[in-house]
Amino acid sequence: MLAVNGLTFAYRKGGEELFGGLTREFTAGVLTALTGASGRGKSTLLYLLGLLLRPGTGQVLIDGVSVSGLADEECSRIRASSIGFVFQDAVLDPSRTILDAVIEPALYAGHTIAEVKPRALELLAEFGLAHRGAHRPGQISGGQAQRVALCRALVTDPSIILADEPTGNLDMENSEIVLAALSAAARQGRTVLVATHNAYVVERAADVVRL
């Protein structure tokens, strides 16, 4: 279970406060869209839920336990083991192969390359990228790069997936591939949140949070 209780956040002291004490449980097993006007905090909420930012007041809870006040080291451990991130820009290291990019999060979670490589190869094949494992990011398309980002987010089998405008740079065909993959991840019991301003994505979501 992923939830927030009494959540507020401001980027600077005295600055605009976001969320107004938001209290919400995010449902596992369905795709949830976070939507709203620009500046309402869609991406910021994902960063708070992913323990990349700390709330001004209130709590982020995972399985009923408050995690937003934990030490940085413990937050990093939770991110590595339980949270997969997908951003609008795939953020792939241009010097590393696609296979290495997919494997990397699992190494932070404490797995060895030998342990995780079969899963990484399986994901690349599932997303039609089996022939791209030895390529560099500059040698693949934007749609393929976003599929690589999905593989990377899934490689540790996280219980939470946070996606920030994952279709923002994609054509309709690749957007559909990404949304289908995120929906499938949700059906497997994960908590999947997608920050978006795209009405098509919102229509595909089973739950919608309007900020």
Least trusted range by pLDDT, from 39-53, 77-91, 118-132: 77-91
Find, among 172, 155, 167, the residue nearest to 195 by Cα.
167
Residue 178: band (very low, low, confident or very high) from pLDDT cuts 50, 70, 90: confident
The more confident residue out of 55 and 167 is 55
CA–CA dist 208, 196 (Å, integer):
10
* Fold entry, domain 2-210: Rossmann fold (3.40.50)
The predicted model gives 89-94 an average pLDDT of 82
Q: Where are the domains of the chain?
A: 2-210
The more confident residue out of 23 and 90 is 23
Using the Cα atoms of residue 138, residue 142, residue 146 and residue 148 in order, give the sign of their dihedral.
negative
pLDDT in the model for residue 174: 84
Cβ-contact 26, 205 below 8 angstroms: no
Q: What's the predicted TM-score (pTM) here?
A: 0.91
C-alpha separations of 119 from 28, 110, 127, 151 in Å: 23, 15, 12, 9
pLDDT in the model for residue 3: 96
Q: pLDDT tens digits, residue range 107-147?
A: 988 899 999 999 999 999 988 899 999 999 889 988 899 88
pLDDT in the model for residue 148: 92
- Tell whether the model's pLDDT for residue 90 goes beyond 80: no
pLDDT in the model for residue 40: 87
- Tell whether the model's pLDDT for residue 194 goes beyond 80: yes
- In the chain, the percentage of residues whose pLDDT exceeds 70 is 100
Mean per-residue pLDDT of the chain: 91
The predicted model gives 183-192 an average pLDDT of 94
Least trusted range by pLDDT, from 74-78, 87-91, 98-102: 87-91
Cβ-contact 105, 115 below 8 angstroms: no
Token pair listed for 38: 């620009």
Over its C-alpha atoms, the chain yields an Rg (Å, rounded) of 17
Q: In what order do the strands lie in the sheet with 57-62?
A: 18-26, 2-9, 57-62, 65-66
pLDDT in the model for residue 183: 93
pLDDT in the model for residue 101: 92
